[in-house]
Every structure is written in structure tokens, then in C-alpha cells.
Amino acid sequence: MIDELGKNESSCRKPDDSVDGTVVAGTVVECAKPGATSAIDAAADASAKDSAAMMETFIRGMPKVELHLHIEGTLMPELQIQLAKRNGMMSKLRHKTVEDLRGAYNFEDLAAFLNLYYEGCSVLLNEVDFYDLTAAYLENARRNNVRHVEIFFDPQAHTSRGVPFDAIVNGIHQALVDGEAKHGITSRLIMSFLRNLPADDAMATLEEALPHADKIYAVGLDSNELGNPPEKFRRVFDRAREEGGFLAVAHAGEEGPPSYIRGALDALHVARIDHGVRCMEDPDLVQRLVEGRIPLTVCPLSNVKLRVFGSMEEHNLKDMLHRGLCVTVNSDDPAYFGGFMNDNYLETQRALGLSRSDVVQLGCNGIEATFLTEEKKKQLRLELDTYVNSFPASGLHE
């Protein structure tokens, strides 16, 4: 899965920016222009004419990338019950039917969600389970027109139960290889450390991961944010970078304060911030993120489900986008939060009144924020440009 050009850091660089990433604060990312008209320009021309029906059709058909997706969080109730039965785990589940599981998804904060999330993890016991989980997600991604995905996995949630590290990573990796052959979806795999556990535990997990550096592209940091600042994992990330050649990302600024975003940048040297919505509370931090073109992988439905925002109408994604931040749309844990990529785009667009050009800007940001080579980014930009330029400016009516 690791291309021959080596590991590539994400960047929300405009095509005409200098290689060092220097930009003027407040500039907006554009897709590369294969012809006279870019995707952003074409979308801006059409935005005023869009009906609700046309916008939905446009979003569903738009080629997308996803950068914030926890593979364990894609475990749909049907598959959870299926795996529990296959592995003789039904007696250990609190919720023994699909209907009971769906009813349990009315959690109100991150801690309550994580309890349910880890219960779901308990049915994943072997390489075949992780393969089936990943293959099922890729099928959903195909239906959502996802072309590239960068997937988190949480090995500590499984090795702590006695599941071998090799079984986890090999099952996921093989499904990604097969998924690319079957669906044409490319991928990067990101190993996340659980920040609520000691740093020594993360270091031991990194030790197990080093022999799999050909499969793992980056390391990340997730789970309970409050009380677990990024600085706690400085040594782990230093070693991951120096010995594994791994790039780095981190969850920050979801429930935690803006200072956690600064900590992720300064102590962990991350290439992307996962979530990051609380950056807007710190104008100096916003300026730094804009000038550095540091991507923010925002998950709108997740943010509302976990009460980061009271409603989608209160979400600050549109404000972030219009401030020039490199914000992207992602599904996080779609089985638990009510939607995959199309749902996240659609609900956000409807609630915030995003224009077609806003939606395309989000798509462009996603491409630029990937860990792909510039050549592969160019291919994705061309596909998006072609789609936007071929989509009718009007003709669908409510």
C-alpha cells in the first residue's frame, strides 16, 4: 500500500503556491485546472441556480475522499450480530438484536459513545473478522462515491483482549488491497493510540507496529480527549517518526480546548488535525492554521451526535470554510452517528445553506489534505473537475 515515492505529508496548497507551502492568509484552495475552468469556478457559476433536488443529486454523485474514519466505528448492527454469532459471543452482548442495538445509539457524550463502541469491538476476534469489517465499509464507501480513504484503527482496543496485533493489521490491510482491486478505492492506514491509556502502553503498541511499516502510513491519537493532552505522547510520536517513518495526525479541539490543537502541532508535529472545531475560539490559532494550510478533518454528524454542537444549524463548519481554513467533511464512526459520507455532506449542506461552490471547495480540500503523491492528487482533482464541469447548471426542480 505504500507507494514507491515514499510517505507524503498532507497539504492544502493551491496549485500555484510555492513548494514550501507559503500562502497569503485567507486564500482559498482550488483544484488544479485541467482546462479553462476549474471545479470551483464552475460550481460558483451554478450555485445560484441549484434547487434542493439538484444539490442532493450533485452531492451524491460527487467523487469524494474520506480522511477521518475509524474502521471499528463502521461496524453496523447487522454485522455486529453476525460476528457475535460466528464467534460464540452472543451471551456476552448487552444488546442481542439489531433493533436493541439501534435503540442504544441515543448516547449524549463521548464517554457514553465509547462504552458502546468498545462493546462492539468485543466481537472482533480474528483476522477474518477485521477483513469482513473493512470489506463491508469499502462497499459502503463505493456507494458514496468515495475514491480514497485514510482509515484509523485502534489496536489497543483489541490487543488488550488478547487479539494478536498481526491479525488486526493483516485483516484490515488485505481487505484494503482487495478493495482497491474490486472498487478502485485507494487507501492509507493510520494506527491510532488510545490517549486515555498510559504513554508506555502506546510505546509498546508502536513496538508491535514497527515490523508492519509497509502497511501502516501514519500514527494518530484518539479516545477521551479531556485530561489527556497531546504532550503526554511526545516521546511515542518522536519514535514513530524516527524509527517507523510514520507521518502523524491527532484528534484535538473536539471536546478539548484550543490549546490541545497547539499541543498536537508543537509536541507531536502532526500533518493534520482531526476535528479541530474549537480552533475558532482562538483567533491567533485560526490565523496559524490558515497560514500553514493545516487540514482539519471535521465530522459534522458526529459533532452533533456527541453534543459538541446543539444542532447542525449551530455547527461552525461554514464559518471555518469561509475563514480560509482547510476544512474537510468526514463520517468518523458512521455506524453510530447516523450516516456515511453522503449523509454528512447532505445534512451539513441543508442545515448551513452551503452553495455548490462551498461543497466543491470541501471536496478540493479533502484531496489536497490526503497523504497521496502529487500525481495521484492531480488525478483526483481532474476527476472532480470533470464531474463539476459536466454537471448541469440547472434543470432539476423542487
Q: Tell me which residue of 205, 282, 283 sits closest to 240, measured CA to CA.
A: 205
Which pLDDT band, with edges at 50, 70 and 90, does 36 fall under? very low
Which pLDDT band, with edges at 50, 70 and 90, does 21 fall under? very low
Provide the pLDDT for residue 258. Answer: 99
Class of domain 39-390: alpha beta
Strands 247-252 and 146-153: unpaired
Bigger pLDDT: 365 vs 107: 365
**172 close to 69: Cβ distance less than 8 angstroms:** no
Which pLDDT band, with edges at 50, 70 and 90, does 234 fall under? very high
- Please give the average per-residue pLDDT across 292-316, as a whole number: 97
Q: Where are the domains of the chain?
A: 39-390
Bigger pLDDT: 205 vs 224: 205
Distance CA 71, CA 93 (A): 20
Please tell me the least confidently modeled range out of 95-104, 250-259, 289-298, 381-390. Answer: 95-104
Length of the chain: 398
- Please give the average per-residue pLDDT across 265-290, as a whole number: 99
Distance CA 141, CA 135 (A): 10
**308 close to 339: Cβ distance less than 8 angstroms:** no
Distance CA 241, CA 27 (A): 30
Bigger pLDDT: 7 vs 4: 7
Q: pLDDT of 120-155, one tens digit each?
A: 999 999 999 999 999 999 999 999 999 999 999 999
φ, ψ for residue 256, nearest 5 deg: -75, 165
Instruction: Say what the pTM is.
Output: 0.89
Catalogue the active-site residues.
Answer: 254
Say yes or no to pLDDT of 208 above 90. yes
**144 close to 64: Cβ distance less than 8 angstroms:** yes
Say yes or no to pLDDT of 31 above 90. no
Q: What percent of the chain has pLDDT over 90?
A: 80
How many other C-beta atoms lie within 10 A of the C-beta of residue 20? 7
